[in-house]
Amino acid sequence: MTIGTDKPAPVQPAPPPSRGVRRHGREGTKREVGLLSSVGHIFLVVWAALVILPLLWTFLASFKNNEEIFGNAWSLPGALRFENWARAWEEAHVGQYFLNSVFVVGVSTFGTMLLGSMAAYVLARYTFFGNRAIYYLFVSGLAFPVFLALVPLFFVVRNLGLFNTHTGLILVYISYSLPFTVFFLAAFFKTLPNSVAEAAMIDGCSHTRLFFRVMMPMAKPGLISITIFNIIGQWNQYILPLAIIPGTDVEDKWVLTQGIANINTSAGFNADWGGLFAALTMAILPMIVIYAIFQRQIQSGLTAGAVK
């Protein structure tokens, strides 16, 4: 007699998810991404308009006379009045202010990059007692408001005999630009490969030569980026020059921002608005040209430090 055994029913595999559900999920994700992208593009267009339109209006107003500016501010100039630019450059002494700004910003940026890059390199690549303390001391300068330092800064510069001088203003620019420079470049120097530095040291390269001949060329994108930021920040500075070179008897030492502010406040109701907008355009155009020329280097410098 044969006793039969009941075999268990085979387990059926779970049916695959419906392709329609997958397709619906992907389409929904694409719609969300497309919606967010559209909203982002709208905000970018609005932001670009808020930045470009005032600049364009200032440039067009530099060719207008007072009647055109106050009659219909949004109309095109009736003629290209380059005499507004000549009048601002010569009679309003904008040319002298412009040259002063070029000199002060050029020297202070060079000093900032030289001292800041050396300090950032040492803090990023060498281990010694107090390394972190010095680094955080530099970084703490980013959180210190400029307005709180104006009064003690005034007395320090005056006691050093540097009041109403370009030298005093240059040193102040360097000191206030160093925290951000060290903070930015220290993070950048950390991403540079150690193998290159070790190979250079094995070949007999000194620490100074290693920095100037090997590491600085490798850090070129970051150096260019922070240099442009320092130039723009120092070029547009107004509070510090006003505190260091405030005297009307040294007007020939004023920088561009001081000169333009003086033109605006001293003219009263008889202001030469065409000349004033021409002076503003002279102050704006160099920074736009510099940023346009080095745009790719700035972007590569900002992103290169994030990838090792």
Whole-number pLDDT of residue 207:
87
User: What is the arithmetic mean of pLDDT over 140-145?
Assistant: 86
> What is the DSSP track for 189-256?
HHTS-HHHHHHHHHTT--HHHIIIIIIHHHTHHHHHHHHHHHHHHHHT--HHHHHHS--GGGGGG--H
Whole-number pLDDT of residue 185:
92
Whole-number pLDDT of residue 16:
56
Whether domain 87-304 has CATH 1.10.3720.10: the reply is yes
What is this structure's pTM?
0.81
Whole-number pLDDT of residue 3:
47
